Every structure is written in C-alpha cells, then in structure tokens.
A and B are shown apart, each in its own frame.
Chain A
C-alpha cells in the first residue's frame, strides 16, 4: 500500500465515521412505506365493516324501533297485550318477531 492509498483509506474512514451519525434508522426506513401500505387497507376494511353493519341494520331492522327494547318473551307478551297493533308493524325477518309470533300463537 503506497502513501496515497493510506491517505485515501484514512480520509474515507473518517467520512465513514461521520456518516455513522447521519445514517437513518434501518427499521424506520423499511417500515415507513410498509406501514402505510398495511395501515391503508386496514382502515379501508374497518370503514367497509362499519358501512356494512350500517346497511345491514337499515335493511333488517324493522321500522318500529321499539323492537329493540323487547329483550325477553315476557316483555313482548306484555307489549302485545297492551299494543296488539305492534304485530302488524313488525317485519317477519327478525328472530324477535318469530318469538313474538310464537308467543302470540300460543296465547291464542
């Protein structure tokens, strides 16, 4: 190794030392765009889930929202006794209606 080569080696080694302080963190560099690409689909999935739940609720929930409060057969029975017209407002899609119908039939 001649003198020039020794000087160049020392020069570049000193640059290498300086670069150590400036080098960005590897994990962050690999993760930034990666995280973006994984977060965006996740956000989209969550948003799509909310929209789907909203649509399902809108389609399947009967117009008479009082259905939600009748969470036991006895309450349904009591309600039907007081307000028999509720039966006609309910749509046949819900399980609660089926329960209500069965109770109503058994009563008859």
Chain B
C-alpha cells in the first residue's frame, strides 16, 4: 500500500498547499511561461493526487515526486489536443524573459536572454537549482533523469551561460 493511501485527503491538501507557490513556478517553467496553461496543468496535477490517480510511493521526497507528476501532466497536455497552442507558446518564455528584463536590471536582461539559449533540460535544471533551490539529486528526481546526467546538464548549462554572458 502506497503512502498516498495512508495520507488523508486533508493531509495531501496540506502538503500540496505548502508547495503551491513553488509548484506554480515549476508549472510555469514547464509550460514555457504561459500562466493559463500552467494553472490548468497544476490543477490537473492536484486532482490526480487528490483523487488517487497519482500515488506517492515514498521513494523520493514529496516535492520532487509532485514535480514529476506535474511534468508528466504538462507532457500529456502537449501530446493531447493542444498541439496547435504549444507551437505558439514555445517562445512565450523567451519573450516574457525579454519583456520582464527590460523593466529590470540590465544584468537580468542578459541572463534572461542567455537562459533562452539553453536546451530544455539545461534550462530546467538551472530553474530547479536556482528557483526551487533543489540539490542536483533532487532536480534529477524531478526531471526523471540520473544524477550523473543532471550534473552533466548543469555544468554544461553553467558553461554556456558563462560564455554567453561574457560575450554580451
């Protein structure tokens, strides 16, 4: 019997509530910065957990497990009937980074542009480490990749960012 079954709905709600802001940040990242889609994906993930369609087995931390559920939910949404929308939103985060950066420090503008140049996995690992403040092992769990692979993506991302920022 999974821990999910042992946890009451009230307990699960409390755990999810504690993570709500961070989960929204991750959903927004996975949805390319689209707040509407992120909200939909997050709500669907909450329901998956609360209705017992996704069960926490206790093999990892609750946060990394839920982030995996959320990532798969976004992938399912991408695969399903929303393909036409995703092609339009894929550049949303880039434009959002640029838009936000214009009103902020020039350094943030450079970082925003540099982040847009990273691969999806590199960007995700940077987000998980610096936004979510996860360790590389936690980030690897959330992304469903090995610790070694996560380290490789992280170091490549940092190297690429260093190069891009020094060029700019």
Contacts and interface: CB of A to CB of B under 8 A. Distances in A.
Contacts of A5: 130, 158
Given A4-B162, A8-B111, A29 B50 contact: no
A65 interface: no
B5 interface: no
B112 A11 contact: yes
Contact of A24 (B24, B47, B130, B161): B24
B126 interface: yes
Contacts, number: 64
A11 B108 contact: yes
Interface string A39-74: 000000000000000000000000000000000000
Nearest to A24: B39
B53 to A, nearest CB: 13
Nearest to B24: A23
B167 to A, nearest CB: 14
Contacts of A30: 13, 16, 43, 46-47, 50
Chain B binding surface SS class: helix
Contacts of A85: none
Contacts of A14: 104, 108
A16 B25 CA distance: 7
Given A22-B35, A23-B21, A8 B130 contact: yes
Interface in A1-50: 4-5, 7-12, 14-16, 18-20, 22-24, 26, 29-30, 32-34
A23 B161 contact: no
A19 B100 contact: no
B70 interface: no
* In the A-B complex, the 8 residue pairs with the closest CB atoms: A12-B131, A12-B130, A26-B20, A8-B130, A23-B24, A11-B111, A29-B43, A26-B17
Interface of B: 13, 16-17, 20-21, 24-25, 28, 35, 39, 42-43, 46-47, 50, 100, 104, 107-108, 111-112, 126-127, 130-131, 158, 161-162, 165
7 contacts: A4-B158, A8-B161, A11-B112, A22-B24, A23-B20, A24-B42, A33-B47
